[in-house]
Chain A
């Protein structure tokens, strides 16, 4: 079963992250590297990516000519995806445990973080 574990942040989340004290930043970076290593060694990591700051995020849709129209105005309350892991595990319990592990990344403010866990649709189903 594959799951996506998502770390969400507010629009200014990255700016606040950048201004964390050095020791906490170092601990956070070290934690993420170690966490990814553990996932990979467990044979459970399918992929993981961090996304660039939402300051550069754009909303896009097609105009009448099919060309992109962009809009950068987001409501203040909007949450942004900061990064995700895709894991392949034996159970949803295991996915939740991994999310709980990820949530303990050292940081400033509201910790542990909330991690959103979503199952990925697969092609398989029970045999009838």
Chain B
């Protein structure tokens, strides 16, 4: 038997991840070259992960990381100068005047709490594709290694490394400054940050394929980062709303899949498995946010999740409340997924015919073309209306369209069960 590997020191991992954006912020303030600084901090994190378990955590872990990263940066700057000198010599030019290597650090740079926010604005810049922004955010702000991110997204490490380096190139080319966006731009840039955090969460939460453990960590990581943003912007209702939405959704994690990874729909979940503490925290957050006024989409989605989470049994769900909230959300967003959920809520309150009527206009929506959700929702409503034949064929059509294995299995089984019962 091979000995099992030692338990990973979760506290150490947590500490390193918390310190990562602070160290990076301090180094970027000094050197500006974001791409090189990010590499330097990543190397410092890897060195710490190797040394600290052996030698003990240093008295000032953040200072340690910053020192090591700055030393790496000094090496980097020196080798850049040497390279430019060689190139100039080859070209027969006199080496251009280059900045001298920065002096060794004699005092620890001031830590700015906003550094984490600055980094998030940078990594989630709209110039980046979502996949690049996610990867860069997890590495630069989340302190995850490239290997960990690659594992979580089920791609080779080399591919993820390329994605991250391209993301850094895009930042360089778009000349995003390392400072907070001005007031006019701020709301939309914060929107990009929240969207990236939401994508990280849903990647971790909705997946049950591959390395399940690592993917679960993605949901935790998204919650951790969103919590950090909420700590920095406690008055922002949408940040609070997103954090609440994640907590209220994640609270059901243990109940939403069976032992074989099969999906269990909300109304069949064992609610005793729900995480009461996460629900309580989410409810407090979203209630406070809604009281402050300026209602946004994340707050509304969180409020809907809260209504579900607060029902002791599925039949206790306050559907009129859910319907009203989806009504507000629908006026705010033209997302067809919202319209689908609105139709479900209408069916729960006014009966399946009302829901089916709301689905009809969605047939013309290009964005739902080829998507399985419309078929699945219509099947669900027709099932409630008692139209078994149509239900079975729509569940099958939905099963063929979805690209999610657990969802396909769920829809297939549902159709098979109904088909046999006829």
Residues of A at the B interface (CB closer than 8 Å) are 1-2, 40-47, 88-90, 119-128
Closest B residue to A128 by beta carbon equals B266
Given A40-B159, A42-B166: 5 more A-B contacts, CB < 8 Å: A43-B135, A43-B159, A123-B209, A125-B404, A126-B337
Is the Cβ of A122 less than 8 Å from the Cβ of B132?
A: no
From residue B96, how far is it (CB to closest CB) to chain A in Å? 29
**B130 at the A interface (CB under 8 A):** yes
Task: Give a binary string over B156-195; 1 marks a CB under 8 Å from any A CB, 0 the rest.
Answer: 1011111111100000000000000000000000000000
Is the Cβ of B155 less than 8 Å from the Cβ of A125?
A: no
Give the complex CA separation of A90 and B128 in angstroms: 11
**B64 at the A interface (CB under 8 A):** no
**B210 at the A interface (CB under 8 A):** yes
Is the Cβ of A122 less than 8 Å from the Cβ of B131?
A: no
**Total A-B pairs, Cβ < 8 A:** 80
Is the Cβ of A41 less than 8 Å from the Cβ of B202?
A: no
Contacting residues of chain B (195-249) with chain A, CB-CB under 8 angstroms: 202-203, 205-210, 215, 249
Between-chain CB contacts (< 8 Å), 28 pairs? A2-B154, A41-B162, A41-B166, A43-B160, A43-B162, A43-B163, A43-B164, A43-B165, A43-B166, A88-B159, A89-B131, A90-B130, A120-B403, A121-B408, A122-B404, A122-B405, A123-B206, A123-B207, A123-B215, A123-B405, A124-B207, A124-B209, A124-B404, A125-B263, A125-B402, A125-B406, A125-B407, A127-B206
Give the complex CA separation of A45 and B203 in angstroms: 19
Greatest chain B CB density within 10 A among A43, A47, A120, A122 is at A43
Closest 5 CB pairs of A and B: A123-B209, A43-B163, A125-B404, A43-B162, A124-B207
Is the Cβ of A126 less than 8 Å from the Cβ of B373?
A: yes
Is the Cβ of A47 less than 8 Å from the Cβ of B156?
A: yes
From residue B271, how far is it (CB to closest CB) to chain A in Å? 16
From residue A59, how far is it (CB to closest CB) to chain B in Å? 27
Is the Cβ of B373 less than 8 Å from the Cβ of A88?
A: no
From residue B251, how far is it (CB to closest CB) to chain A in Å? 13
From residue B410, how far is it (CB to closest CB) to chain A in Å? 9
Could you say which residues of chain A place their CB within 8 Å of the CB of B249? 127
Could you say which residues of chain B place their CB within 8 Å of the CB of A128? 265-266, 341
Closest B residue to A94 by beta carbon equals B129
Could you say which residues of chain B place their CB within 8 Å of the CB of A46? 154-156, 159
Is the Cβ of B160 less than 8 Å from the Cβ of A123?
A: no
Closest B residue to A86 by beta carbon equals B155
Is the Cβ of A88 less than 8 Å from the Cβ of B209?
A: no
From residue A95, how far is it (CB to closest CB) to chain B in Å? 12
Is the Cβ of B158 less than 8 Å from the Cβ of A40?
A: yes
Is the Cβ of A40 less than 8 Å from the Cβ of B207?
A: no
Could you say which residues of chain B place their CB within 8 Å of the CB of A44? 159, 163
Could you say which residues of chain A place their CB within 8 Å of the CB of B265? 128
Could you say which residues of chain A place their CB within 8 Å of the CB of B206? 123-127
Is the Cβ of A124 less than 8 Å from the Cβ of B202?
A: yes
Closest B residue to A41 by beta carbon equals B162
Is the Cβ of A88 less than 8 Å from the Cβ of B155?
A: yes
Give the complex CA separation of A123 and B202 in angstroms: 11
From residue B223, how far is it (CB to closest CB) to chain A in Å? 14
From residue B149, how far is it (CB to closest CB) to chain A in Å? 11
Task: Give a binary string over B394-410; 1 marks a CB under 8 Å from any A CB, 0 the rest.
Answer: 00000000111111100
From residue B378, how far is it (CB to closest CB) to chain A in Å? 15
Could you say which residues of chain B place their CB within 8 Å of the CB of A124? 202-203, 206-207, 209, 404
Task: Give a binary string over B106-136; 1 marks a CB under 8 Å from any A CB, 0 the rest.
Answer: 0000000000000000000000011110010
Greatest chain B CB density within 10 A among A89, A120, A123, A126 is at A123
Is the Cβ of A40 less than 8 Å from the Cβ of B155?
A: no
